[in-house]
Amino acid sequence: MSSILVLLLLHLLSFSTARDIIFPPDSSIQANLQGHERQYESSLNSQKDAFAEFEKYAGLTTFANLPWVHCLSPEEHVDGYDIAFLGAPFDTGTTARPGARFGPTGIRQGSRRIGAPMAWSAYTHENTFLEWARIVDCGDAPLTFLDNTVALQQLVKAHKVVSGRKANTTEVADVPRIITLGGDHTTTLAALRSTINHWGPVSVIHFDSHIDTWDPKVLGGGISDYAGLNHGTFLHIAHEEGLILNSSAHAGIRAPFINKKHDLKNDKRCGFEIITAREIDKIGVLGVVEKLKARVGDSNVYISVDIDVLDPAYAPATGTAEVGGWTTRELLSILDGLEGLKVIGADVVEVAPAYDNPGETTVLAAAEVAHSLMSLMVETPVKPLSRR
């Protein structure tokens, strides 16, 4: 070997040593942070074990990296929880584009950057993950995709099992509350068929571009009872079954009615007041918040968010998109403005990830909506009927 080659080899070796990259970088800036590590202890819950620490992109994908609990286990005892995320992979009640059966997975994907230790709100300076409630992801309910009737019965049962367990933090809550990740909007009916048992009839705050109180004869055409139960009629049926109060409200409505006279009359009969999408231009976000709060008053509230309440610019991945909707910021401001309401259940539905874009616009929005719904529940604990 010539001496030139030896020199070259030595040079390469020294070069590679000099280029060793150390994680984390041992810079003076990092060193200055070390005196503040106590500040992060409560957040990170760290025992200085790198593998036990919170990692946002590690492990299996749950909503906001929350712990998974097998809430639907036949076992009598599972790890306790106060608020549970439950996926409802069902989309055979849709009248337009299908695909919301993949909504729960999509919303969890959109939530991967959210995590309990680092979720301090820029607006409230609070972190609702770290307060009294133990919050978990129960995974998805097992639903058949071949029979809507059976699938919805399965979903009602899943809701009853998940909400039927004793809450974790009994000093504050008795009944665990559920946030459903839909699923098409028909899945809300299954939730309401379960909430009636603990909370009685509830006011529904329904964020949607469509009224969804359509008479099955109008939407479904009276072909069969089976066809009559779909994502545009479930609120009509919820009213017929006595599950909801006459102090309910729609927010963000802009889709055309099918029958000019009958739809509006029937909507009122089902207990709803309408805030249209364009009303926000006149009364603003605060005006919408005030109207919704005045409408539901002190009653128990179920908040259902059809992601199509957003403009398709902010949520293209949905089954029945309607242009002229709200922005993500407007919706989040309205939701956060509802602090103080007695929210006993909630959902984000109609997320169909196949129509999303590479930037994941819709699932990111849906995840943040679910985070806001969760925060409303943490901020206001509610006692069930049996305890009042």
Give the footprint of Mn ion on this chain (CB under 5 A).
185, 208, 212, 306
Could you give the dihedral angle defined by the CA atoms of residues 187, 188, 193 and 197, in that order, rounded to the nearest 10 degrees? 130
Of 247 and 320, the one with the shorter C-beta distance to Mn ion is: 320
Residue 276 CB, shortest distance to Mn ion, in Å, is 15
Of 215 and 306, the one with the shorter C-beta distance to Mn ion is: 306
Environment class of 48 (CB within 10 Å of its CB; exposed 0-12, middle 13-18, buried 19+): exposed
Residue 335 CB, shortest distance to Mn ion, in Å, is 16
Contact 66, 82 (CB under 8 A): no
Reported residue count of the chain is 388
Type of residue found at 349: V
The Cα-based distances of 187 to 23, 96, 193, 245, 316 in angstroms read: 46, 16, 10, 19, 21
Of 306 and 356, the one with the shorter C-beta distance to Mn ion is: 306
Q: How far apart are the first and last CA of the chain?
A: 90
Residue 306 CB, shortest distance to Mn ion, in Å, is 4
Of 71 and 369, the one with the shorter C-beta distance to Mn ion is: 369
Give the strand pairing for 203-207 and 83-88. Answer: unpaired
Which secondary-structure segment (H or E) carries 228? Answer: helix 225-228
Of 140 and 347, the one with the shorter C-beta distance to Mn ion is: 347
Query: Which residues partner with 248 through β-bridges?
Result: 272
Residue 206 CB, shortest distance to Mn ion, in Å, is 8
Contact 132, 170 (CB under 8 A): no
Residue 252 CB, shortest distance to Mn ion, in Å, is 10
Residue 294 CB, shortest distance to Mn ion, in Å, is 23
Of 86 and 219, the one with the shorter C-beta distance to Mn ion is: 219
